[in-house]
Each structure stands twice: as C-alpha cells, then as structure tokens.
Amino acid sequence: MSTPNKQTRVAWLQGPAVRCESVPQGDHPPYRLVLLGAPGVGKGTQADLLSQRLGACHLSTGDMFRAAGNCAECEQSPAIQEALVYMRRGELVPDSIVWEMVRERLVCLQCSGGFVLDGFPRTLGQARSLKRLLDEQGIWLTAVVNYDLPIAEIVARLGGRRTCEKCKAVYHLTERPPKAADRCDRCEGKLFQREDDRPESIKVRMEAYERSTAFLIDFYRKSGLLMQVPATGTPDEICQRTVAELEPRRISGFAQKLWAAAEDRR
C-alpha cells in the first residue's frame, strides 16, 4: 500500500491551468476506483478514508462544481455558469458539460497516485465516455465499488439527521446526538429535520436513485469491475472491508494488463 499523502487536489478543483505541488510516485500500480452508492450510505466518507489509506486522490465532481462556483477571482466560463444553474436547482448537470470539465482534468486521471472518483460517472453516457478515454490512455480501473445498504437502514440513517436552523451544523439522533434535545451545541439554534430527510421523501429519493443507476451498475457488472460492498458497521469497518477486497483486484488487474501487453507484442 502506498504511503498516505496529503493531496491538495488543486488541479482537480481549480482546473487544468493549475498543477498539484506534489504527485505521489508509487512503485506499484495505483488504485483507480469509481465509488457508487445511494445517498445516506456514506460514500463521501468512504472516499475520504480510502483516499487517505490508499494515497489516491479523492476526485468528486460535486466538489469540482462547488469549487468553480465559490471561486471569487476565477473567470467563470459559460459552461460553468450553466452547470451552476442546474446544480442550484438540484438537477444533474448535462453530460456534455460534466464531460468537458472531467476531460480538461485528464492529468488527474493519469496521476501516478491513482484516484477515487466520487459522484462520477452518474449516467451511462458518462461511464461510456470515461471508458473510451481511459482505454485511449491505456489506463484501467481497479474496481467500481458499489456500497450497498438495505433501504430500511438508509431511512434510519437519514431519518435521524437534524440540522441547526442558524449555523447549519448537522447532528444525528443516535450517532451524533446534541447535548440538549432539539438545540445546537454550538449556537443553541433550533434543530430541524430537512424535508428530504423525512421517510416518505427518502423512499422517493431511493427509488429515483435506483432507477438512474441500474444501467450504470449493469454496465460495470458486465465489464467485471463491479464490487459490491455492504455499507454496514462503522466507517472504519466499511473502509477495512473495502481495502481487503481491493488488494487482490489491484494485483490481478495489473497482471492481466501485463499479460495482455505481452500478447500484443507477440
């Protein structure tokens, strides 16, 4: 396993004009992952943990759009401005814009430290574009990790979430309870439950998620890259489980590519 490094991700967050200060130089094939999972399974947390454990950069397209939107001194291209309109409405950004931004950041996909893609690809079109680009570059994915959790548990997780009206701090009734019921520890603001965290809304969101990712899951299952990981237990346990399943895939994926390259030379 590579030495954990502290990635600044500036090339990803700020775009192709900026280069990361240091790039990990691994002496082994890096981990290149795509993470999938419904809202509430803790995909973002796992992306961070895996990135620390494996030394691969956490590349989130949501973070990329947010960084573009929050950068006061950056000149925003028409594509970014359009993307932000979709994002603020809570809708998916069109594939053409997402792809333009990801392709511009090819250097991050080529990085010798590897990557953990989070939030991308989200559609079959994006998955196909990514595959084409990686094939052209001779880069292969180690695995596509799909975090799996029964819907009842997702409802319990998201349903217990409470947010402070004033400072927006987030609590959980059982996992991270506030000291005083319904009051924020930091500013004493009143805690409320977000409309979309109510059980009825969660079920609707889950169904929409499953409908939209069914094609993606199928695409990656057929390509042999899909790895189902139960998202039960603590974040550390889930991370441990993921890493244990990944290691053999990284080695066997690498061996297969070497073999294929040797075959090509014959």
Catalytic residues: 43, 122, 161, 194, 205
The residue within the footprint of ligand AMP, chosen from 35, 98, 184, 202 (CB under 6 A), is 98
Nearest to ligand AMP of 141, 184 (CB atom): 141
- Residue in 156, 243, 170 with CA at minimum distance from that of residue 202: 156
Query: Which residue has the CB atom at the shortest distance from ligand AMP?
Result: 62
- Beta carbon of residue 97, minimum distance to ligand AMP (angstroms, whole number): 8
Strand ranges inside 167-210, DSSP E? 170-172, 191-192
122 touching ligand AMP, by CB under 6 A: yes
Site string for ligand AMP, 227-246 (x = CB under 6 A): --------------------
- Beta carbon of residue 135, minimum distance to ligand AMP (angstroms, whole number): 19
Check if the beta carbon of residue 151 is closer than 8 Å to that of residue 200. no
* Residue found by looking up tokens 């040797």 in the block: 262
The residue within the footprint of ligand AMP, chosen from 10, 92, 208, 260 (CB under 6 A), is 92
CA distance 220 to 238: 21
Torsion on CA atoms 237, 240, 242, 244, rounded to nearest 10 = -140
* Residue found by looking up tokens 């401005």 in the block: 81
The residue within the footprint of ligand AMP, chosen from 86, 140, 209, 254 (CB under 6 A), is 86
* Residue found by looking up tokens 């590349």 in the block: 59
